[in-house]
Structure 1
Amino acid sequence: MPFSDFTNPYQNPANIPQKYRQHINLQKLFKADGSYVRPAEDPVTMWALQILVEEYGVPIQAMELELNSDFAEGTYQGGRRYQGRADLVVYDDRYADSVGNLDVAFIMVEAMEPNKKVDGTEGEGWVDHLNRLNAYMSASPSARYAILTNGKHTVIYRRDLDYPRKLEIIGDLQKYESAREAAQHSFYTVILNPSEPDGIQTGLTPLTRDKFREVLGDTRSGCHSILRDNEGLQPQEAVDAMVKFLFAKWYDEQATIDLVKQTGESRAYVFSVSNETDPERLLVQVRDTFEKAKQWERETLAKKFGDDLGVRLAFNEADVLQFKPHTTMEIVKRLQPWSLRKSSADVKGGVFEDFLSKTFRDDLGQYFTPTPVINLMVGILQPTVNDYVGDPACGSARMLTHILDYVRKQEYAKAIANNSGNTEGINPEEPTEEFIKFRDNHLFGAEYSRNVMHVARVNTLMNGAQYADLKVMDSLERLGSITGGITEGLPERPGFYLGGFTMILTNPPFGSKLTNESILKDFAGRDGVTKKNGKVVKSIPQEVAFVNRCLEFIAPNGKLAIILPDGVLATSSMQDVRHWILRWARLKAVISLPQATFAPYGAGVKTSLVFLEKRENPLIVEGQLELGLEVIEADENYLVYMAQINDIGYDTKGRLTVSEDVSAKPPEIEEAVNDFNEKLGW
């Protein structure tokens, strides 16, 4: 290795080449008179530094000398914590900010006097320096390599990331690839290009649904299989890992674009590999990109929600993205050509549906809602920028991201119309100020499972809704514990409060019973569905409890779209439930879904979509009415739209029955939306 030839060329500091001697990063080596600060050790530091620059390609700008380190488990002298100084630190320059600051250490070098014996036991000898180097490495979570040298003898170590205080001896370092070098030969680089939208050329391609499914899926070459085969992960663990990779990848795209805009320099993504890529360095880069993504999310949400973020964060401090170097390299290879930022909501959401649904169904009992059903719900609800939209059982938050996409398109069309049909100067991602306000302040989701919330948070982030108010929460808990005792929602308090939404769309869990006595009494205390003949029932189907809770969360005249088992609508045992619903809401539409709707995801229950409009005031008990095509309320007649979907776009095995390009909104879905709007509307 290049470190093996030591002739102490810089024992006299006057022999140091000017490019080193005059560089600001190296001034700590010298006193004011130009002599070394430590005449015995500093020539060794200078010799090692030059080798790193000349032989391994490390930029001087990525180096720092005499870096102070405060040890969490440090040495105490005279009752005070000992602060050591690492002789030389090499940073990963991929993480430079807009003014060139670096904070991700990669290599640490400890130099010692040439006359100190290898493995000698004398004071300030080899063993002491090795212990010191080990402590420096432990104090820096990103440092991967360590070098200990007295010039005549050099050992290169690699840190075991699973055991931070364990250094393994290796033969040599790989060449250091600087950020500038990576940008010159990487296929996936961000550059300034005035002819492109937003003045940026990303070098990445939006995903199609088939391609995303292929990249992530359970095929031999898919990321899921790599994680399973290389790391021995169980399905749920592999899904959790992939969500972390997607989170880091999305952040890498955005952060790299932001840096290019700030500096004007081309940059390669972290998620970009070549023949020169060091797998060990890539591992650290991906891991630290994930950490920076977590930090970004924490800082972003704190601006809106303050510091109490425990129930809102996608990942907490204990969550890490760290796998074998080869595994990380293979995952990055498959993700690197594709843009998560520019892929459509249908594509990203559809992949969450395809890729995640089986795992969440098997392990967590969760069912994701198919895209055609979501498009049917959104198309009939017709949300606008003035709506406050919630989903109390949000799962992967796909209903919220579809709402966002629908409103974005409506606002984009409005902006074009107001601009005499001209698209110039209109950002399709943020078409109006009203849309930005809607995106940042009008979307709310709750999910009981923290594992599923990881998916929801990443899904909303990737669709531009970083401020969506998502929280881990049991939406069927006693209302006071959810609201903190607050009894008024809109207009002052949008969200999960009494009357806190103008619109809810949800697919609640089916099949379980709510039996908690205190919660049943809580519902009954507000004339809820759990009160029957003056008494509190002992149990109620979970989906019925969700209808009750949704109608509490919705403001008067607000809209509710909910997927319910047909038994709620038809069986005689549910007659009282139907009476209660019609007291509190006007029935707007019932659309029967085919048996195949949830069959590909393992659920055989027959379901329908129910659309309700909350009344200004509930009817009195004597005003209970039957469910039908036409109902009478006092002296007012109103119509109810009824429809049946026979072809949802796929069969019971998930095979498409329509072409791929209309699979998100098959003909019967489109027809039902248009028919409702023409015949009834809101």
Structure 2
Amino acid sequence: MPFSDFTNPYQNPANIPQDYRQHPNLQKLLLSDGSGKYVRPLEDPVTIWAIQILEQEYGVPLNAMELELSNITASRQMFGRSDLIIYDDRYVGSGTGLDVAFIMLEAMEPSKKFEGNEELGWNYHFKQLEVYMSASPSARYAILTSGKHTKIYRRDLDYPRKLEPIGDLPKYESAREAANHSPYKVIYNTRKPDDIQTGLQPLTRDKFREVLGDTRSGCHSILRDNEGLQPQEAVDAMVKFLFAKWYDEQATIDLVKQTEESRAYVFSVSNETDPERLLVQVRDTFEKAKQWERETLAKKFGDDLGVRLAFNEADVLQFKPHTTMEIVKRLQPWSLRKSSADVKGGVFEDFLSKTFRDDLGQYFTPTPVINLMVGILQPTVNDYVGDPACGSARMLTHVLDYVRKQEYVKTIANNGGSAEGINPEEPTQEFIKFRDNHLFGAEYSRTVMHIARVNTLMNGAQYADLKVMDSLERLGSITGGIIEGLPERPGFYMGGLTMILTNPPFGSKVTNENVLKDFAGRDGVTKKKGKVVKSIPQEVAFVNRCLEFIAPNGKLAIVLPDGVLANSSTEDVRDWILRWARLKAVISLPQATFAPYGAGVKTSVVVLEKREKPLTVQGQLELGQEIIKADEDYQIYMARIDDIGYDAAGRMSLSEDQAHEPPQVKETIIDFVQKLGW
């Protein structure tokens, strides 16, 4: 350890090297009266000696150091800051300042006894150091030195105030050094400043599957083996890593443009990388990603963002250094931003819905079913699309991808059949407007909202209006008493959407008397023979709520248990639905559809078109003139899908190329469009 052989070389302030004396970060050592004397004659020589060792032996740049001497008085304050703070210097030169403390050093008088208890002695300074370290979540190392004696500590992640002695301090790799030998960095060309090279490759779906892995390999097994995480905890952890990685790619490019010099990504490791430093950088990147999201959403939604944020203040990305290192190694070569929407969607298709089907199955709809619903409804850039039980928001991202592809094809056709100069990710201004303003999702679980928000972010829809919300709450609580939707108020208002695709939770009952009365007060399905029912199946309540959210002539595709369609006990429900909507299609799904996700109930996709004006109960019962006029040329499309692409155990029954859109799903969509359409 270089902290030895102390001879007090700087006892006389005049011996301080000139470059140290003139450095703005070190001038606090000397009194401001021009006398050239130390602020603390006994301790400051130790501090400058330690600074020189840190710079020359460990590679700490002076501009990463900050002295805390401005408020020193005769009686030192217990809750001040360490004498010397060494920051992570990733953002040095960017003009944004350094705010991520990495190492803290406490200097003391050389005459004090090693580990002694005298006043202002070793144990006093050690206790102060414990306090300083625990107050800074990013600080990983601590140094306590009297010059004659030095101890170096590492903070225990599980017990923030516990400092563990270690033999030596790892070498500090400056940001500039990291960029010199990092295999993954943004390269700045001084001769062509706009020619910025990132060095990352787009992912294929197979490669992403390999990187993220399953219970036997990849990131999943790392989180399981190193951290002991359960599947749902591993999902949350992996989503945080992906969020930080996605942000790091753009933030590093922005940093290079600010500093005009090459920089390594945070998600980049080499043989020189200190795992503890990497942990701090990844944690800070996640915090900055949260801040970016907060500022981005505030531009559109204002400051009341509690229900819209992917992560709150309490959410952190901090695992064991070795775990962080191994996850970064697997993610570092690949670009989440450059990867296509299809591939990014694959993160949530494969990694989440398959690997974790047992624990999170209730939040996922099989991809073939989503493709069926989107293909039947045929969304356009003019639609306002919502999902009041959005789970991971895959319905919405599939709609986004469908509309993007349709706009891309249309733009190529308008460009004489040439794709030259057309961005396939943002083919038209109409698509950008749709992406930023026409997508709405609600989810009851805040944990699952993490997944939904990151899913939409990675698909470019950072402005998608997602919120943590109980969609079956009293309508006034959801809308704030507003009773009108489109055109002024799109979203979850009365008539605020033109299209809903949803797979609501089913199997439970809604028994809240206030909610049941609220539905009944608007001629809802909870009103039977003039009275309010005592309970209603959850999926039926969602049909009611969806038809309230949809504007007249709007489209609804919803997954429902077949019992709603066939049981005699739900005849009144079917009658109510037919008063409010035209039945457009019923597509029976195989028994195995939801079996891999722990639900064996037989289901169908029901497609409805909301009437301009609901039929009256009397008009419906008499099958009179009212229905004849309302249902002129009224046809219903009926179909059955026998092969959804896998069996009840989740084993694929088709090739992988066909699995996400099986032949029967494709045929059903084409058949619907040809025979009925919209």
Residue 49 of structure 2 is matched in structure 1 by 47
d(CA) in 2 for partners of 1:439, 1:5: 65
2:516 to 513, 516, 520: 520
d(CA) in 1 for partners of 2:628, 2:650: 41
In the alignment, is residue 276 of structure 1 matched against residue 272 of structure 2?
Answer: yes
Residue 601 of structure 2 is matched in structure 1 by 605
Residue 24 of structure 1 is matched in structure 2 by 24
**C-alpha deviation, 1:150, in angstroms:** 1.9
Change (3 A) 1:603 1:205: farther
2:369 to 366, 373, 388: 373
d(CA) in 2 for partners of 1:652, 1:598: 8
Q: How does 1:523-538 map to 2 (within 5 A)?
A: 523-538=519-534
d(CA) in 1 for partners of 2:622, 2:397: 35
d(CA) in 1 for partners of 2:418, 2:264: 35
d(CA) in 1 for partners of 2:70, 2:302: 32
Change (3 A) 1:6 1:397: same
d(CA) in 2 for partners of 1:470, 1:553: 15
Kept in 1: contact 2:552–2:611 (CA 8 A): yes
d(CA) in 2 for partners of 1:594, 1:107: 60
**C-alpha deviation, 1:506, in angstroms:** 0.4
Q: Deviations over 1:52-93 (max 9, x none)?
A: 1111111222112226699xxxx9989xx8773532211111
Q: Which amino acid aligns with 2:348?
A: F
* TM-score, structure 2 normalization: 0.91
Kept in 2: contact 1:649–1:656 (CA 8 A): yes
Mean Cα deviation higher: 328-337 or 147-156:
328-337
Residue 662 of structure 2 is matched in structure 1 by 666
Kept in 2: contact 1:379–1:673 (CA 8 A): yes
**C-alpha deviation, 1:42, in angstroms:** 2.6
In the alignment, is residue 185 of structure 1 matched against residue 181 of structure 2?
Answer: yes
Residue 593 of structure 1 is matched in structure 2 by 589
Q: Which amino acid aligns with 1:48?
A: A
Kept in 2: contact 1:447–1:453 (CA 8 A): yes
Q: Which amino acid aligns with 1:5?
A: D
2:287 to 286, 291, 300: 291
Q: Deviations over 1:274-319 (max 9, x none)?
A: 2211111222222222222222222222222223222222222222
Mean Cα deviation higher: 642-651 or 278-287:
642-651
Residue 578 of structure 1 is matched in structure 2 by 574
**C-alpha deviation, 1:584, in angstroms:** 1.0
d(CA) in 2 for partners of 1:68, 1:160: 30
d(CA) in 2 for partners of 1:634, 1:235: 51
d(CA) in 2 for partners of 1:258, 1:626: 68
Kept in 1: contact 2:79–2:131 (CA 8 A): no
Residue 142 of structure 1 is matched in structure 2 by 138
Q: Which amino acid aligns with 1:405?
A: D
Change (3 A) 1:278 1:614: same
d(CA) in 2 for partners of 1:492, 1:126: 68
**C-alpha deviation, 1:651, in angstroms:** 3.0
Q: How does 1:485-500 map to 2 (within 5 A)?
A: 485-500=481-496
**C-alpha deviation, 1:247, in angstroms:** 2.1
Kept in 1: contact 2:591–2:601 (CA 8 A): yes
Q: Secondary structure at the match of 2:82?
A: strand
d(CA) in 2 for partners of 1:554, 1:287: 42
Q: Secondary structure at the match of 1:624?
A: helix
**C-alpha deviation, 1:472, in angstroms:** 1.5
Kept in 2: contact 1:590–1:609 (CA 8 A): yes
Change (3 A) 1:679 1:143: same
**C-alpha deviation, 1:171, in angstroms:** 0.8
Where in structure 1 are there 5+ consecutive unaligned residues?
Answer: none
d(CA) in 2 for partners of 1:328, 1:67: 35
Q: How does 1:162-561 map to 2 (within 5 A)?
A: 162-192=158-188, 200-357=196-353, 362-363=358-359, 366-421=362-417, 423=419, 425-561=421-557
Q: Deviations over 1:304-355 (max 9, x none)?
A: 2223222222222222222222222222222222322233444343442443
Q: Deviations over 1:210-263 (max 9, x none)?
A: 333333333333322222222222232222222222222222223223222333
Q: Which amino acid aligns with 1:296?
A: W
Kept in 2: contact 1:194–1:200 (CA 8 A): no
d(CA) in 2 for partners of 1:18, 1:494: 65
Kept in 1: contact 2:517–2:526 (CA 8 A): yes
In the alignment, is residue 641 of structure 1 matched against residue 637 of structure 2?
Answer: yes
Where in structure 2 are there 5+ consecutive unaligned residues?
Answer: none
**C-alpha deviation, 1:14, in angstroms:** 4.3
Q: Secondary structure at the match of 2:490?
A: coil
d(CA) in 1 for partners of 2:189, 2:675: 49
Kept in 2: contact 1:204–1:337 (CA 8 A): yes
d(CA) in 2 for partners of 1:67, 1:577: 74
Change (3 A) 1:362 1:667: closer
**C-alpha deviation, 1:553, in angstroms:** 0.4
d(CA) in 1 for partners of 2:119, 2:468: 55
Identity %: 84
Residue 675 of structure 2 is matched in structure 1 by 679
Kept in 1: contact 2:3–2:150 (CA 8 A): yes
d(CA) in 1 for partners of 2:66, 2:583: 69
Change (3 A) 1:346 1:431: closer
Q: Which amino acid aligns with 1:164?
A: P
- What is the alpha-carbon root mean square deviation over aligned residues? 3.1
* TM-score, structure 1 normalization: 0.91
Change (3 A) 1:157 1:82: closer
Change (3 A) 1:625 1:51: farther
**C-alpha deviation, 1:542, in angstroms:** 1.4
Q: How does 1:80-159 map to 2 (within 5 A)?
A: 84-96=80-92, 98-99=94-95, 101-159=97-155
Mean Cα deviation higher: 146-155 or 571-580:
571-580
Change (3 A) 1:576 1:67: farther
Kept in 2: contact 1:412–1:431 (CA 8 A): yes
d(CA) in 1 for partners of 2:293, 2:322: 28
Q: Which amino acid aligns with 1:285?
A: Q
